[in-house]
Amino acid sequence: HDSNLLEDVKARVRDVPDFPKPGILFKDVTPVLADPHLFGRVVNAMAAPFRGRHITKVVAVEARGFLLGAPIALALHTGFAPARKPGKLPYKSVMERYSLEYGDDGLQLHEDAVSRGDRVLIVDDLLATGGTAAATARLVSKLGGEVVGFSFLISLDFLPGRERLGAEKVCALLSY
């Protein structure tokens, strides 16, 4: 058990006011990723609740989700698949639309990114309204995968994301 992790991460997450729009307090995780020791501890802690849960694939969300999802997939010895904004994936894809804290968007997954029976962990840096993660879960289900859980670095618990996804499926290192 990595006892000081929460304090160490909290000290490094940088608050940026009015980004990307006025009124949004942006949680910048790049200082966490810049510290090699802290980065490793974060990856380990985000993977830990899902060890022994027979995860077969990690699906992570563009763009900051990739930075955490890929090392978590390696830590769990699973494959990795990127969920990307529309028009970014080269191969045949499935699509889901969603509304964001600030705007509307869509997400796509390659149609062979997840197979029927896959046990999937969805990873992102931050959970806000849950729209992004819920759309990712719908993509996984569309392809016949089972969403075992969600792992976030940060959860904004003054927003309804956690309940929306099913609180028992959601793990977050830090909550605000």
Q: Of residues 12, 57, 64, 162, which one binds ligand PRP by CB under 6 A?
A: 64
Residue ranges with strand state E in 18-145: 25-28, 57-61, 79-83, 93-100, 103-110, 119-127
Stretch that binds ligand PRP, among 4-12, 130-138, 143-151, 165-173 (CB under 6 A): 130-138
Near ligand PRP by CB under 6 A: residue from 113, 120, 124, 151 = 124
Q: Is residue 125 within 8 Å of 62, Cβ to Cβ?
A: no
15 CB-near residues (< 8 Å, 6+ apart): 25, 26, 27, 28
Q: Which stretch binds ligand PRP (CB under 6 A): 45-53, 68-76, 131-139, 143-151?
A: 131-139
Asked if 101 is an active-site residue, the reply is yes
Q: 83: how many CB neighbours lie within 10 A of its CB?
A: 31
Does residue 101 belong to the site contacting ligand PRP (CB under 6 A)? yes
Nearer to ligand PRP, 12 or 64 (CB): 64
Q: Rounded CA gap, 69 and 71, in Å?
A: 6
Q: Which of 81, 120, 161, 165 binds ligand PRP (CB under 6 A)?
A: 161
Pairing between strand 146-155 and 119-127? parallel
- Select which of 12, 41, 64, 138 is catalytic: 64
69 part of the interface to ligand PRP, by CB under 6 A = no
